[in-house]
Amino acid sequence: MATALAYQYSHLPVVPTWLNKGDNAWQMTASTLVGLQSMPGLVILYASIVKKKWAVNSAFMALYAFAAVLICWVLVCYRMAFGDKLLPFWGKGAPSLGQKFLIDRAAVPESTHFETPMIQPFYPMASLVYFQFTFAAITMILLAGSVLGRMNIRAWMAFVPLWLIFSYTVGAFSLWGGGFLFHWGVIDYSGGYVIHLSSGIAGFTAAYWVGPRLKSDRERFPPNNVLLMLAGAGLLWMGWSGFNGGAPYAANIDASIAVLNTNICAATSLLVWTSLDVVFFGKPSVIGAVQGMMTGLVCITPGAGVVQSWAAIVMGILSGSIPWFSMMILHKKSSLLQKVDDTLGVFHTHAVAGLLGGLLTGLLAEPALCRLILPVVNTRGAFYGGTGGIQFLKQLVAALFVIGWNIVSTTAILLSIKLFMPLRMPEEELVIGDDAVHGEEAYALWGDGEKYDPTKHGWNVSSYAEENAMSGFGHGAKARGVTINL
């Protein structure tokens, strides 16, 4: 068979024999899609879904985390999560910056002395380092959703690198990077446990230690821009094709199955959540629809490439109803859930949905799809008999490990930070918001941030129409006699 022309140029070492250009192109594309989920996706969503006075602070927390995680990731954290084994749940930290390391062929786990075969994608380590960074970054930003509107920004700046080092890398190594859960055969296709369960549990724990928002903020916290919130949510949904489609580390048929299942589950979950809102509250909620979308995306993530598409619908039905019940019904009856001020309900949308997805994967993982992608042979869900019951048990044990580690590590990190600075903003900053914390506000409605003064700005649409008689808006407003008092 003739070699493709693009691979014949032996004098170009930039195209080694092991490089698959299609896989490399898809992996970098998937990385970009996941990155867009955070920056600008969650930056926009957070800035829009919170009260106006917290828009800048919420956006900045996400923006800062994205940048800080990347630097920590290449300095030490990538190899703690995917490098040589240090402990059964942790890798040896080292920089991922030298060209010799980055241009070599990617390998997971990096070590060769484990019992499970090494996975070697057909692209360089640089592509894998960046792809996994985007996962680490979004985990950190999702966690932030629990403490918006009151966490001391300096405490957050210290928390980000510490949590990445002592919590995220442990889950990533244990389940993905060659740790004990990886070799045991736990299925976490693209981060239901590593990302969503961990961010939901850690966020809830952080919300407990940081303390609640002001009483006035808890009682009334309307989004300041619903349409812009939907733009952020749209970036999150579309970016999820890279999130789950990039998990096989190749542009293969399993990536296609994962992308299709991801969108099926998200759509089903959104429709179920919205239907429940209509049945119980009499009207559909746009915020509720976004939450239903989110729980569907989270739920399918641990099993996107190993369940059939009818199972994705089943998972969507359950992810649109069980987290809805925990948020809308159980939350109001639980004293613990009432006590902890989880600003955006990350516990429900990520911890509950992530746990649900991981357990459903233990039931619904299809043997033929598992053989396509998983390194442990004979993996299957409990509904398919054989060793499926053991698989469900593995999924449960892994969830308990992730939950326990995140409660302990998050608590230890925050209590350590508290020795040096308060975790919560002072009361005067909580009252004012962005202007007190950053000296900036989200919207300048009058010129250069001027406040409305009727002696300077007083006018109505009728007078505006007279001055602009040729404009369609002015003419229509004058004809109707409309007066808007700003």
CB count within 10 Å of CB 228 equals 16
Residue percentage of the chain with pLDDT more than 90 = 80
Residue 376's pLDDT band (boundaries 50, 70, 90)? confident
Mean pLDDT of 300-321: 98
Residue 11's pLDDT band (boundaries 50, 70, 90)? low
pLDDT per position as a tens digit, 205-244: 999 999 999 999 998 889 999 999 999 999 999 999 999 9
Element spanning 42, H or E: none
| For residue 40, cis peptide bond before it (omega within 30 degrees of 0) | yes
- The pLDDT assigned to 468 comes to 46
- The pLDDT assigned to 270 comes to 98
- The pLDDT assigned to 471 comes to 43
Which distant-in-sequence residues (6+ apart) come within 8 Å of 390 by Cβ?
none
**Nearest one of 177, 96, 167 to 130, comparing CA atoms:** 96
Distance CA 442, CA 429 (A): 16
Distance CA 144, CA 165 (A): 16
- The pTM score is 0.89
Mean pLDDT of 475-482: 40
pLDDT per position as a tens digit, 48-94: 999 999 999 999 999 999 999 999 999 999 999 999 889 999 999 99
Residue 313's pLDDT band (boundaries 50, 70, 90)? very high
Distance CA 425, CA 152 (A): 5
- The pLDDT assigned to 421 comes to 97
Distance CA 461, CA 124 (A): 62
Residue 364's pLDDT band (boundaries 50, 70, 90)? very high
pLDDT per position as a tens digit, 435-469: 999 989 888 765 555 555 555 544 444 444 444 44
Exposure string (b/e) for 297-319, b if CB count within 10 Å is 16 or more? Answer: bbbbbbbbbbbeeebbbbbbbbb
Distance CA 311, CA 328 (A): 25
| For residue 109, cis peptide bond before it (omega within 30 degrees of 0) | yes
- The pLDDT assigned to 255 comes to 97
Asked whether the beta carbons of 380 and 388 are under 8 A apart, the reply is yes
Distance CA 473, CA 219 (A): 38
Measured distance between the N- and C-terminal CA atoms of the chain, rounded to whole angstroms: 75
The residue type at 486: L
Chain-centroid distance, C-alpha 373: 23
Q: Would the CA dihedral through 101, 102, 104, 105 be positive or negative?
A: positive
Which distant-in-sequence residues (6+ apart) come within 8 Å of 282 by Cβ?
none
- The pLDDT assigned to 472 comes to 43
